[in-house]
Each structure stands twice: as structure tokens, then as C-alpha cells.
Amino acid sequence: MKDILEILEKDARITPQEIAKMVGRSVESVKKAIKKMETDGIILKYKTVLNSEMLREEGSGVRALIEVKVTPQKGLGFDNVAERIYQFPEVTSCYLMSGTYDLLVVVEAKSLHAISDFVSEKLSSIQHVRGTVTHFILKKYKENGDLLKQPPQDKRQAILL
């Protein structure tokens, strides 16, 4: 099963027939294994990876990493505060971290001001949030193992005959 997962993680569009050849199993057993992993919640969904650098437009959005210092709650630890934070639609990811800050929150919004408003009005006002540090992403080079390298542009001028 793990071998099938590794293949699907790299390319979710690969067919069960191709996977079967790669892992030396029957197509039916591959289909059955994939269905079981979907039913069991191991495979949550299939996503398209976009190169946002290629789609860059004015007002296309801003992404920020926000480090959050939290006072853990007795009997609940960090989970209750994390759950309140990840419910916001601006939050795309939320991680419990080791180190100086407790949570790392990834936020996407239309502008720097929208992220600023999120931090000051929503995040900072949550009980048990003691402090935040916001880092804005300026450019992405690699994300989730995928290179976001733009193809080189041909700067030569065409010669018309």
C-alpha cells in the first residue's frame, strides 16, 4: 500500500494500470487498495499543483507565515487554540512547532492590509494567544517538493525575411 501512496503523491493523475505495472500487482488489487485508502481517510483528496509565480497578477493575493506564541490550556494543551485559529478561512495551514513559537500559521489574503487586519483583529484577540511574528512570502522557488522554476524566456528578436 505504501508503494502505491508514494506513486500517487508524486503524480495523482497516474492510472491504476500504470501503477500496477510499477508495483507488480494486478490492476484490480491497485484499484481496491486506492479505494480502501480513500474510504479509510488516508487519501483525503487529489489536488492540482499550480505555479503561482507564472500566474502572478496584481492583487492576486499574498501569503504569510505567522509564528504564534500560545499559553497552553490545562488539559487541552495547544489543540483548542489551534482549532480556533485554523477555522478562519484565511488560514491554509496550521502546525504545532518546537522552538520559540508554538504554532506556525500559513495565511492567504488579497493584500498585505488584509493579512494585517487578520492578525490584529482576529488572531491577536484570541484568548491564550500571547504574541505573533509575521513573515510575508516574497517569492516561491520550491513548494511541496515541486520546483516552481519559470522556463527561460527567449530574448532574441525575430528576423523577418
What are the tens digits of pLDDT across the range 129-148?
A: 999 999 999 888 888 777 77
Q: Which three cell numbers stand for residue 127?
A: 484568548
| Per-residue pLDDT tens over the stretch 1-33 | 889 999 998 888 999 999 999 999 999 999 999
Those residues with Cβ within 8 angstroms of residue 7's Cβ, 6 or more apart along the chain or in another chain: 14, 19, 22, 23
Q: Does the predicted TM-score (pTM) go above 0.75?
A: no
Arithmetic mean of pLDDT over the chain: 88
% of the chain at pLDDT higher than 70 = 89
At residue 48, the pLDDT reads 77
Instruction: Read off the amino acid at residue 66.
Output: I
pLDDT higher than 80, residue 57: no
Task: Give me the CATH code for the 62-139 domain, please.
Answer: 3.30.70.920
**Residue entry with cell 504564534:** 68
Mean per-residue pLDDT, 49-59:
62
pLDDT of residue 119: 97
